[in-house]
Amino acid sequence: MAATERRVFERDGYLVVRGVLDADEVEGYAAAIDDLYERRRRAGQLGPGGALHELSAVYACPALAPLVDHASIVGRVCASGWSARTS
């Protein structure tokens, strides 16, 4: 992770990295999220304006689990020296 990316991540709490997933992966994960959204909509569990807020996304949508340790993502995080532990 470049220093500028690290600053953005520390400021925003997330980092957008383009090109990590191929088109088929994007399509598959988007379909899984669309399905989750539809299930929550039918159950009346969306937020104001139809917003989906899912704190346990992998639990609610197991199809997202491969993102947790996707080689392109984990490699980037590990190479940055990032650690979940803070002082």
pLDDT at 64 over 60: yes
Which tokens hold the place of 74? 């984990």
Q: DSSP H helical segments within the chain, as ranges?
A: 3-12, 23-42, 57-60, 71-80
pLDDT at 87 over 80: no
Q: Answer yes or no: is 85 within a domain.
A: no
Tell me which residue of 16, 31, 10 sits closest to 76, measured CA to CA.
16
Q: Provide the number of structural domains found in the chain.
A: 1
- What's the pTM? 0.71
| 3 state DSSP class of 49 | helix
pLDDT in tens, 4-54: 888 898 899 888 888 889 999 999 999 999 999 999 999 999 999 999 998
pLDDT at 39: 95
Q: Answer yes or no: is 86 within a domain.
A: no
Q: Answer yes or no: is 43 within a domain.
A: yes
Query: By residue range, what is the domain housing residue 14?
Result: 3-80
Average pLDDT over residues 46-67: 92
Q: Answer yes or no: is 87 within a domain.
A: no
